[in-house]
Structure formats: structure tokens, C-alpha cells
Amino acid sequence: MIGPRSRRVVLPLAVFVGLVLAWEAAVTVLHVQPIVLPPPSGVALTMARTAGPIAFHAWHTLLTTLLGFVAAVGLGLLLGFAIGGSATVNDALYPLLVGFNSIPKAAVVPLLVMWFGIGTAPAVLTAFLLAFFPVAVNVAVGLATLEAELRDVLRSLGASRWQIFRKVGVPRTMPLFFASLKVAVSSAFVGSVISETVASNAGIGYLMAVAASDFNTRLAFGGLAVLGAMGVLLYGIFAVIERRMTAWAYAE
């Protein structure tokens, strides 16, 4: 028997390996054209041969994503604190934010390209635009849901708004903030890849656009595999950070 912890690692891995094997078998048995669907072994071979360029583009995508992410966390925190801390700011900004967030960000990329040209800048900005919203909303919710009784306890000690914010507001918002980071980093990743696909000369998104225009299906799948691995890794890192930073919020 395996323990519950290793179960959570072993089971999904087993399913993943099983799917890859089934894919390989299906392609071979059904004689599928490699240009339509290459076998995983072929994809792996291409990835190994182009490891250098893939690593270069992956690194570029990672930096782009993280730049946009860091900016988004900064603005998201500020906006979240402002919205959660003040009913006036909330009433004024929240509907606009929701409206802005409902715009598909891919539609903004052409504008960004007009302003900043093809390259890294639109990718960083797209990553930023996708990522700040979850941070802002979570931080605002954390602040706004402060228990009325707790506020009364503090106010009856003569605590200022700033003291209530510092002593209680910020700490109790941290679990929501850290939970939003893993969502935000995934969103930033989506944003940078979208922008790279449309208008860039570096990054995995660009690599995949080039592969597709060459009908290089193997390389396109290779890019997809790298994106998958990077996405899981980024999410996983921030999930671990979340668990570490706010252990108190995970009561049994």
C-alpha cells in the first residue's frame, strides 16, 4: 500500500504516463500522419535536438512572465488595499475593474504592439494586465471581510484605522494574497505566451508560432510540453510558498 501523500504524486503521474503510452500506441497502430499528430517519442527526439533554442525561448518567456507578474502583484496589492480599505474607493473602482477584467486581453495585444512595437514590452504588459486582477480582488476581499466585532475591540482601544490595517487587516489578508499569487502567476504566463504568439521574436509563444507556420508539428508539440511543464512548476512553487507562509490558515 502507498500512503496518502505519495498517492497524490504517484496516481496523476501514472495516469500521465499511461496517456502518453496510449498516444504512442495509437499513432503507431492507426498509422496517423506525423504532420497531424507526431508520436511522443518523436516529439521528445525533436526537443532533445533543439534543446538549446528551446531553453533560450523558455528562459525568455519565464523572464517576461515574472516581470509582468511582479508588476501585477505590486499594483494588485495597492489596488486591493485601497478597495478593501475604503468603501468609497470600492464603489468607485470595483465596477470598472470588473468591466476591464471582462475584456479578453488578447484583443489588447495589437494596441500594445502599436505603442511599444513587436518584442518583450507587449508581452510583459499583457502578463501584467492578466495578473493584477486576481491579486487585487483577493486582497480587497481579505480586508473587507474583517469581522465587525474585531474592529470594535480595536476601536474601543483607541486604535486608528492605520493600526487596525497593520495589526489585523494585513495579516488576515495574507492567506488570500498568497492564494491569489498562484492564480496570478498562471494568468501572467498565459498573457506573456499570448502576446509572444502574436507579436514577438523570442519566447516559447514565438517558437510555436514559427513551428506552426513551418508545419513543424513535432516542434509545436515540444513547445506545448515545455509550456505545460513551466505552468505546473510556476503554480507549484507558489502553492508551496502559500502553504509555508500561512500555515495558521490551514487548520485541520
Query: By CB under 8 A, is residue 172 in contact with another protein?
Result: yes
Using the minimum distance from each CB to another protein, give the nearer residue, 32 or 150: 150
Binding span for another protein by CB under 8 A among 43-51, 158-166, 207-215, 232-240: 158-166
Q: Name the minimum Å distance from CB 167 to another protein.
A: 7
Binder of another protein out of 62, 118, 154, 210 (CB under 8 A) = 154
Binder of another protein out of 150, 210, 212, 225 (CB under 8 A) = 150
Query: By CB under 8 A, is residue 59 in contact with another protein?
Result: no
CA–CA gap between residue 185 and residue 125 (Å, rounded): 13
Q: Name the minimum Å distance from CB 148 to another protein.
A: 9
Q: Name the minimum Å distance from CB 156 to another protein.
A: 5
Query: By CB under 8 A, is residue 155 in contact with another protein?
Result: yes
**Helix intervals (H) in 86-116:** 87-101, 109-116
Query: By CB under 8 A, is residue 159 in contact with another protein?
Result: yes
Query: By CB under 8 A, is residue 31 in contact with another protein?
Result: no
Choose among 96, 92, 167: nearest CA to 133. Answer: 96
**Cell 504512442 identifies what position?**
24
**Cell 525561448 identifies what position?**
57
Choose among 11, 21, 57, 24: nearest CA to 226. Answer: 57
- Per rule CB under 8 A, count of chain residues that contact another protein: 23
Contacts of 38 (CB under 8 A, 6+ apart): 27, 46, 217, 218, 221
Binder of another protein out of 31, 157, 213, 244 (CB under 8 A) = 157
Q: Do 206 and 57 contact (CB within 8 A), yes or no?
A: yes
> Restricting to residues 181-210, which ones interact with another protein according to CB under 8 A?
none
Q: Do 142 and 177 contact (CB within 8 A), yes or no?
A: yes
Using the minimum distance from each CB to another protein, give the nearer residue, 51 or 247: 247
CA–CA gap between residue 243 and residue 118 (Å, rounded): 38
Q: Name the minimum Å distance from CB 179 to another protein.
A: 15
Q: Do 38 and 98 contact (CB within 8 A), yes or no?
A: no
Binding residues for another protein, per CB under 8 A?
147, 149-150, 152-160, 163, 167-168, 171-172, 174, 246, 248-249, 251-252
